[in-house]
Structure 1
Amino acid sequence: MGTAQKQFNVGGMSCSFCAESIEKAYRRTDGVTDVDVSLAHEEVLVQYDDDRIGEVEVKDTLRDLGYTIRDPDKEKQYEDQQAELADGKRRLVLAGSASIVVAALMAWMVFVMGRFESESPVMDLATLALALGTMFGPGRYIKKKAYQSLRRGIFNQHVLLEAGAFAGLLGGFLGLSVFPGFPTVHFFAVSVFITTYHILSEYTSLIVRTRASQAVQSLLDLRPDTARRVTDDGVEEVPVDDLKVGDRVRVKPGENVPVDGEVVDGKSTVDESVATGESIPEEKSAGDEVIGGSVNETGTLLVEVTATGEDAFLNQVAHEIEEARAMKPGIIQLADRVLRYFVPTVLTIAALSFAFWVVAPLAWGAGPNVQRGAFAALAVLVLGYPCALGMATPLALIRGGGKAANRGILMRSGDAFQISPDVDHIILDKTGTITVGKPAVSEVVAFDGEEDNVLAMAASAEAFSEHPLADAILDRADGQGVEYVDPESFDSVTGKGVRATVAGEDVLVGKPGWLTNEGVDLSWAGDEVERLQHRGLTISGVVRGNDLVGLIGIGDEIKDDAAAAVQRMKDAGIAPVMITGDNERTARAVAEEVGIDRVMADVLPDEKRREVGRMQDEGHRLAMVGDGINDAPALTQADIGIAIGAGTDIAIESADVVLMGDRLGGVMDAYEIGEESYRKTRQNLLTAFTFNGVGVTAATTGLVHPVFAMVAMVLSVSAVLANNFAGQLVSGEGVNTDFTVESGDAGGIAEEGTAAD
């Protein structure tokens, strides 16, 4: 027994105030030694002394606060999210309906009957019923959160909401029984409206997270969870988790290698870019090691399992991701920084307002004005509830998220908006991010005749090969319209090249070292070989008879917009940095071509994450862009993780932003949208805070009628709405809340629906 650690996926968190409340609750729980809360990933990591507190009590703390613990199974988590969205919609419909009815009653009373007070017990009681029904019906969960927060001495937005809602109830009851002339209906209406506004605010936040998760879900291509285990009795299909060290599994062409192991039979090329970042596949034969998650491309392999469980590569990466997520620097949203001080300030002002009107009149010889003091305190709590403040950030997120979706970008978390203005470095993976991630012919050098002749000879020799480098040569020949023929004979030399007979002539295509061993003189072409190697290209020499007739340089092609995207980063004052598992020579060559000055090469997945953490420790705000499993820990650690949508599922799940296509320019599009949305958030908050600040100040006089409080609340929300969508509606842009991926189109988003259009 001793220190234990548990990680939970949590439902019901809507803002970083929620995250702060959870942290405070755990830090005040006896036996808990440390806690980390990630709002972006909706996770809580708790370390505790299991001699003093058990796992059940640890879970109960979360549940007592009003949050749910989701099933660790991914499919169940997805179902839980859908259930939360349905519950949120149901609450909003019920509370919204009550608000509409109350608004209609107030309008009838003011505009038809011509008075502020109903003077009708039936109307008073009807409004009371609607207030109680809203507060203890769809708003009941808020009371649970507020009670549990207060019980632990935590003052948050739930506490302030309930203070305002119960103030409305109290004001209404005072009007019914103690102070004739009190605006009973309007006070009861307050309870309905602020509860509804809060439910609306939380629902909009939930839409942002859940709809983005739905789109991401459609991108995920999870690896098969079974493997073909070879036994003395034959081949059986078993869950990967059931494999043990020493078991043998068969891996066919095109399949993922299910586990870490050693090849005992067969020859193939294996794409290990998930671990190394190298786009050129490795030749594998008996005695070579393979990594779980890599892709077997050409031949069938028999692999003996060498590592399972925590020792396996993918599990080590998963552990790195969890650790990075738990230790990621916390972000307090701008609205929550305001609310942190706003909540206790409003409660204090309400108490002081009541005390002032009870005590101050004694100074000028009058009696305590309890009625005015009560009116002032209640009005402060009513006007102090930050309806518009609560909506300011979610509305900006929806606006920015919809704009991003129209450009094929998914903004998965509020951090992507909050941090964008502060980003000073963007760290870029190489393979699949700056480059296409697929071998292609970059240059053909002809020593004997035309370039097309060299390409035709190489393509003819490689026509029967299944090697990715052969595919690159054939693609280049097809692209240039070069005609080639099938060889009369063909022999592949694993890891070296091919021998073939083409039109009656012996042809060799392969690595320079192998050609030299075959007796071909390459010394006179040394300068060209060195030049191509300096460019970071893999070289295949083309030999006819015993003479070198040309060289073919094959590399990972740089994306068309990579250089322009890097220049946009520099123009915005952001320093681009390349970090890659590729070798130094290749990395430098690519960096020079796109204009990146700082390069970190030969970096393993855990080292990538450490480099990101080191730069954060230096005070930098970082965005990390990647597409592979080897990028996932660094994507999680970075302040903003940006995944290329054509990449691996683990990278996508680890990111705050997902680019649905493979265009690198989307990185700066996301940055600019995030920066704009953050600016819009600040404007929204200033607008909302102005209304709240002026309203609270006026309310301390005890002369503010609740109907004017209602008008102020409506005006503040309307002003935020108008500011949030100003320009967007004029330009005709939609505000997406529902995103789905077009079938077969990695670069676009189909709109299922729009909101606030």
Structure 2
Amino acid sequence: MGTTQEQFNVGGMSCSFCAESIEKAYSRTGGVEDVDVSLAHEEVLVRYDDGILSEVKVKDTLRDLGYTIRDPDKAKRYEQQQAELADGKRRLLLAGGASIVVAALMGWMIVVMGRFESASPVMDLVTLGLALGTMFGPGRYITEKAFQSLRRGIFNQHVLLEAGAFAGLLGGLLGLFVFPSFPTVHFFAVSVFITTYHILSEYTSLIVRTRASQAVQSLLDLQPDTARRVTDDGNVEDVPVDDIAVGDQVRVKPGENVPVDGVVGGGKSTVDESVATGESIPEEKTEGDEVIGGSVNETGTLLVEVTAIGDDAFLNQVAREIEEARAMKPGIIQLADRVLKYFVPGVLTIAALSLTFWLVAPLAWGGGPNVQRGAFAALAVLVLGYPCALGMATPLALIRGGGKAANRGILMRSGDAFQIFPDIDHIVLDKTGTITVGEPVVSEIVGVGEGETDVLATAASAEAFSEHPLADAILDHADDRGVEYADPESFDSVTGNGVRATVAGDDVLVGKPGWLEAEGVDLSDAGDEIERLQRRGLTVSGVVRDGDLVGLIGIGDELKTDAAETVQRIKDAGITPVMITGDNERTAQAVAEEVGIERVMADVLPDEKREEIGRLQDDGERITGSRTSSERRSDGSHRVAMVGDGINDAPALTQADIGIAIGAGTDIAIESADIVLMGERLGGVMDAYEIGEESYRKTRQNLATAFAFNGIGVAAATTGLVHPVFAMLAMVLSVSAVLANSFGGQLLSGEGVNTEFAVEDEDSTEIGDGQPAAD
């Protein structure tokens, strides 16, 4: 007995009220110790005492609230999401059809017949049927959610909506059977319209969520389905990876993905582990070295002894870590939600008091209960109090900002990207692929007895048959400079060290300084140059002809052209830039110094990045150096943005308050981020920051407008003089005002409105042409 943790992917969540309802329900459930709800990823993480509460009871709480628990299998989960989308579309078509018919009947009654009150019993009964059909047909799930919420004492948007819908239904029934002067059709119409609006808003939200890419599954797909297992008698058999056990030996040929985590038991090769580490230069692997499933074996054949399978394998651990981090990521309470927390019970209370007042107050001046005026007041309060404009205030501002961002090649994937960015005080930048290009290039050539061109030509000739990425860098540099080189007469690759070749009758060696010395080459005269190049963070290859060193080639990862400029923009905004990398301290400091970053996290293992981001968010212990009080939040923590591109960055991107992925990076990094920069331009980080600031300002303006309409409307409705039809028109007017504030200036300026940011294509990460517009 003890604390148990369960994580669920939940269907049916559409807004922050849903997340709040789930949190409240669990907080009132005995045995639950803690719960984290991620609306963005539709995930719930519950920690509970299994001596008090069972897993079945934990799941039943979610189901009782009207939410579904999706299958843990990602393929089946995707199918369930598609089924939910189909159900949502069906509900919308049914409710939308009812709304069109009701609107046509109202138009006929008002325009053609010139009447507001009931025109005929047939019309009354038709609208009653449409109201009942909408509320208990496509809208039945809303009623069930509202009932379950009320049963737990939770007041949310479902309760407010159903209060309005049932008030309209009750008012219509009173007009149908008690008070002939009541506008029966209009009362029933309110029930239909607000139910349809809610179904529409939830369907829109569902479209965005079900379009999310299957990147976590793509991550797991990097691991091959089969492996070549070596049997006890030395034969090789192809078997499913699921049949591999710890201790088995598998053979991996050049060009293949390593199917399992393990240790090299035989052979030598270079292995591209950028899938895990993000580092661009492959690692040399010999007997005893660890290899990671999903990495690419490049040059030699390896015999690998399996050390981890299933949930213990690296890729599965990353996938699980991402999902847990998403569920535990601190949610940001939107400004509207903070107010709506009190707004919903307030509207319900005012509606009840308004009805009571007009039933009781007339007695004080000698009259009788004014049932019609009380009913008008209560219904109009509920209609005008329904937070339609409030619910749209934030999304419309985000659409406006998202359109501007898309025109600059930036995809803003969440509301947090807008609301939190103005509060960010640290931006953590991954080195490889973010600050740097992510591919090895020749940075410097040092001639020792020969000119640079001759050194390059000799090295290129020796490396002409090599498949090593460092050889590719040398050959590409020679091609770019127009240096001619010939194929070698003989060639031998010395795995992990370099190459040996015969070029124009001369014996040529190109490789690591340590290997060259072991081959008897005297490097004493070039010691200072080798040290200087290594201090710059470059990989040094010596070029030797007939036993004599003729030159050095420094190969490194080139800085992005706008890296230094972007770092300066970060500083100018009052934000502290930090670099994080798995590289050694010397290489990291060299790159950081070149771009102007003072604070560096070096030698960080792939699985430690998320931990370092969390530590920085909490108290910044990992980073040394003084801080001003303005850099710290009131609770001593930091708001942190993380910029990265590799699989190893994905958990950290999820942990950060804002994750920013380079669009040229891996799918899993993009899926884990709140913002995606299309292409490789690092300057998009600060472009997104500026757009986020502006959009949040628009959000506050929209909310002020919406609250003004709701506040004035509710106050006017209490008089009982606001006809339900006019209340509906006022709600439409409030939405129009918010729309005008969001897009009016943009339309007048000719910028246009780009809403493509809101929905990601499953097969592409491009928005428009994927190119940033000129500033």
Q: Which moved more, 1:616-625 or 1:720-729?
A: 720-729
Q: Relative to structure 1, is the Cα distance of residues 603 and 9 closer, same or farther in structure 2, using a 3 angstrom cutoff?
A: same
1:173 pairs with 2:173: yes
Q: CA RMSD in A?
A: 2.5
Partner of 2:633: none
The alpha-carbon distance between structure 1 residues 328 and 9, as it changes in their structure 2 partners (threshold 3 A), is: same
Aligned to 2:64: 64
- Of the structure 1 ranges 172-181 and 518-527, higher mean CA displacement relative to structure 2 is found in 518-527
AA aligned opposite 1:716: S
- The residue identity in structure 1 corresponding to 2:187 is F
Counterpart position of 2:390: 389
For the pair 1:286 / 2:287, whether they are aligned, the reply is yes
Distance 1:214 1:630 in 2: 18
Which deviations, in whole Å up to 9, do the C-alpha atoms of 1:117-175 show, x marking residues without a partner? 23321222222222112212221111111111111111001100000111111111122
SS in 2 for 1:262: strand
The 3-state SS of whatever aligns with 1:44 is strand
- Match of 2:394, as an amino acid? T
Structure 2 residue 298 is matched with structure 1 residue 297: yes
Helix, strand or coil at the partner of 2:281: coil
Structural mapping, 1:252-401, within 5 Å:
252-401=253-402
Q: Could you tell me how far apart the structure 2 residues matched to 1:546 and 1:696 are?
A: 92
Look up the match of 2:693: 675
SS in 2 for 1:652: helix
Distance 2:338 2:330 in 1: 16
CA distance 1:407–1:237, shift in 2 (3 Å): farther
Does structure 1 retain, via aligned residues, the 8 Å contact 2:219–2:315? Answer: no
The answer to whether the 8 A contact 1:462-1:470 is kept is yes
Q: 2:681 matched to 1:663?
A: yes
Displacement of 1:715 in angstroms is 1.0
Paired residue for 1:119? Answer: 119
Larger mean CA deviation between 55-64 and 676-685 belongs to 676-685
Q: Distance in 2 between matches of 1:131 and 1:236?
A: 66
Equivalent residue letter for 2:470: L
| Letter matched to residue 43 of structure 1 | E
Residue 188 of structure 2 corresponds to: 188
**Residues 274 and 630, structure 1, Cα contact 8 Å, conserved in 2:** yes
Corresponding residue number in structure 2 for 1:20: 20
* Cα drift, residue 613 of structure 1: 1.3
**What displacement does 1:532 show?**
1.1
- 1:267–1:299 Cα contact (<8 Å) kept: yes
Cα separation, 2, equivalents of 1:214 and 1:279: 25
Looking at structure 1, the residues matched to 560 and 493 of structure 2 have their Cα atoms a distance apart, in angstroms, of 31
Answer yes or no: is 1:84 the counterpart of 2:84: yes
Q: Which amino acid aligns with 1:114?
A: G
Alignment of 1:483-522 (within 5 A): 483-522=484-523
| Matching residue within 712, 732, 754 for 1:734 | 754
Could you report, residue by residue, the CA deviation over 1:538-559 in whole angstroms, capped at 9, with x for unpaired residues?
1111122232221111011222
**Aligned-residue offset at 1:365:** 4.5
Q: Deviations over 1:268-297 (max 9, x none)?
A: 101233444432211112222222232212
User: Which residue does 2:419 correspond to in 1?
Assistant: 418
In 1, the alpha carbon distance for the partners of 2:582 and 2:218 equals: 29
- Report deviation, 1:200: 1.9
Q: Distance in 2 between matches of 1:748 and 1:454?
A: 45
Aligned CA distance change for structure 1 residues 123 and 214 (closer, same or farther; 3 Å) = farther
Separation in 2 of the partners of 1:527 and 1:37? Answer: 57
Structure 1 residue 508 displacement after superposition = 1.6
Residue aligning to 2:629: none
1:699 aligns with 2:709: no
Q: Choose 485-494 or 677-686, whichever is displaced more.
A: 677-686
Q: CA deviation at 1:44?
A: 0.8
* Distance of 1:325 and 1:278 partners within structure 2: 25
The equivalent of 2:428 in structure 1 is 427
TM-score, structure 1 normalization: 0.93
Q: 1:755 corresponds to which residue?
A: none
**Contact 1:429/1:578 (<8 A) preserved:** yes
Q: Which secondary structure state, in structure 2, belongs to the residue aligned with residue 460 of structure 1?
A: helix
Is contact 1:35-1:47 (8 Å) kept?
yes
Measured in 1, the distance between the counterparts of 2:162 and 2:309 equals: 52
Following the alignment from structure 2 to structure 1, what is the Cα–Cα distance between the partners of residues 666 and 708? Answer: 46
> What does 1:678-757 correspond to in 2, within 5 Å?
678-729=696-747, 730-736=750-756, 738-740=759-761, 749=768
In 2, Cα distance between equivalents of 1:742 and 1:61: 36
Distance in 2 of aligned mates of 1:118 and 1:220: 63
Alignment of 1:469-484 (within 5 A): 469-484=470-485
Q: Distance in 2 between matches of 1:219 and 1:103?
A: 50
Q: Deviations over 1:638-690 (max 9, x none)?
A: 11122233333432332233334333233334334433433333333222222
Structure 1 stretch displaced more, 540-549 or 673-682: 673-682
Deviation at 1:404, TM superposition (A): 4.1
Structure 2 residue matching 1:314: 3-state secondary structure: helix
Tell me if the contact between 2:182 and 2:372 (Cα under 8 Å) persists in the aligned partners. Answer: no
**Alpha-carbon distance in 2 for matches of 1:495, 1:319:** 34
- Alignment partner, residue 619 of structure 1: 637
Matched position secondary structure for 1:731: coil
- 594-603 or 532-541, larger mean C-alpha shift: 594-603
Question: Distance between the aligned counterparts of 1:448 and 1:258, measured in 2?
Answer: 47
**SS of match in other structure, 1:180:** coil
CA contact 2:38–2:328 (8 Å) conserved in 1: no
Distance 1:51 1:115 in 2: 65
**Structure 2: how far apart are the matches of 1:201 and 1:25?**
23
The offset of 1:323, in angstroms, is: 4.1
The alignment of Structure 1 onto Structure 2 pairs a total of residues equal to: 749
SS where residue 153 of structure 1 aligns? coil
Could you tell me which amino acid in structure 2 is paired with residue 524 of structure 1?
Answer: D
Q: Which residue of 1 aligns with 2:251?
A: 250
Q: Which residue does 1:30 correspond to in 2?
A: 30
Change (3 A) 1:658 1:253: farther
Aligned partner of residue 213 in structure 2, secondary structure: helix
Conserved in 1, the CA contact under 8 Å of 2:491 and 2:500?
yes
CA displacement at 1:363 relative to structure 2:
4.1
SS of 1:213's equivalent in the other structure is: coil
Structure 1 pair 748/354, CA: closer, same or farther in 2 (3 Å)? closer
Between the aligned partners of 1:316 and 1:216, the Cα distance in structure 2 is: 11
Go from structure 1 to structure 2 and tell me whether the alpha carbon gap of 1:353 and 1:126 turns closer, same or farther (over 3 Å shift): same
Aligned partners of 2:216 and 2:668 also within 8 Å: no
Alignment partners' CA distance in 2, 1:304 and 1:216: 26
- Worse overlay, 275-284 or 427-436: 275-284
Q: Determine the structure 1 residue equivalent to 2:102.
A: 102
> Relative to 1, partners in 2 of residues 1:352 and 1:28: Cα closer, same or farther, differing over 3 Å?
same
Task: Tell me the equivalent position of 2:773.
Answer: none
* % identical equivalent positions: 84
Higher mean alpha-carbon deviation, 248-257 vs 534-543, is at 248-257
Q: Which runs of 5+ in 1 are unaligned?
A: 752-757
Written as runs of structure 1 = structure 2, the 5 A alignment for 1:587-598 is 587-598=588-599
The residue identity in structure 2 corresponding to 1:732 is: G
What SS class does the counterpart of residue 761 from structure 2 fall into?
strand
- 2:8 is paired with a residue whose SS is strand
Partner of 1:586: 587
Per-residue deviation, 1:366: 4.2
The CA deviation at 1:43 is: 0.7
In 2, Cα distance between the equivalents of 1:420 and 1:741?
A: 26
For 2:210 and 2:481, locate their aligned partners in 1 and report how far apart those are by CA, in whole Å: 47
Shift of 1:246: 0.9
Query: What does residue 536 of structure 2 align with?
Result: 535
- Deviation digits for residues 480-520 of structure 1 (CA, Å, limit 9, x no counterpart): 12111111222222322222221111222112222233333
CA distance in 1 between counterparts of 2:672 and 2:581 reads: 18
2:213 touches 2:762 (CA, 8 Å); kept in 1? no
Q: Post-superposition shift, 1:207?
A: 2.7
| Alignment check: 8 A CA contact 2:449 2:550 kept | yes
- 1:740 is paired with a residue of what secondary structure? coil
In 1: Cα distance, 2:183 partner to 2:766 partner:
57
Could you tell which deviates more after superposition, 424-433 or 643-652?
Answer: 643-652
Q: Distance in 2 between matches of 1:456 and 1:511?
A: 18
Distance 2:415 2:80 in 1: 21
In 1: Cα distance, 2:372 partner to 2:667 partner: 63
